[in-house]
DNA sequence: TGGGTGACCATAG
DNA sequence: ACTATGGCCACCC
């Protein structure tokens, strides 16, 4: 039953991502540390985010800034629409200027 | 019990 | 630069 622990942790971190920024699955996993793999982060979001619209799951992408999780949203364009409405530029499912948009919890949240 | 799968990532060839 | 592979760990047959 430890799954509830890390899923809660993941959600808490995602909530802290500022608008106009984004982070990666691996960055969250690394920040939380606890034997949590990047696959688990994606898995948690797939399970929880689709049910709970309270968290900005659209601000979590893969390490390359690609919107690999867009299919889990109500519509395939929903994730991109959200990010663009927050001031980000997206082209071909990739966040432009990714290196500056990237928000690393291990650093920013220290 | 065991194998396949996934919103991933790092490394090797 | 691109593909392959292994590791990661919970979930679902």
List, for residues A14-24, the tens digit of each pLDDT value: 999 999 999 99
Nearest one of A64, A74, A69 to A96, comparing CA atoms: A64
Q: Rounded to the nearest 10 degrees, what angle do helices A25-32 and A3-15 cross at?
A: 120
What the block records as the tokens of A83 is 């990010």
Q: Which bases on strand B have an atom closer than 7 Å to a protein beta carbon?
A: 6-10
Show the low-confidence residues of chain A (pLDDT under 70): 1-4, 50-52
pTM, 2 dp = 0.91
List, for residues A2-14, the tens digit of each pLDDT value: 466 788 899 999 9
- Number of helices (H), then strands (E), belonging to chain A: the values are 6, 4
Q: Look at residue A1 in the predicted model and tell me its pLDDT.
A: 44
Residue A62: nearest nucleotide (C-alpha to C1'): B8
């Amino acid at each position: 039953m430890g799954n509830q622990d890390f899923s809660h942790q993941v959600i808490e971190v995602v909530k802290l991502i500022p608008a106009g920024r984004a982070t990666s699955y691996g960055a969250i996993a690394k920040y939380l540390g606890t034997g949590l793999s990047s696959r688990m982060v994606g898995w948690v979001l797939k399970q929880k985010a689709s049910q709970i619209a309270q968290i900005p799951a659209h601000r979590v992408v893969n390490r390359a800034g690609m919107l690999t999780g867009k299919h889990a949203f109500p519509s395939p364009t929903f994730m991109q629409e959200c990010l663009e409405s927050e001031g980000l530029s997206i082209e071909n499912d990739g966040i432009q200027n990714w290196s500056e948009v990237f928000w690393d919890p291990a650093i920013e949240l220290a």
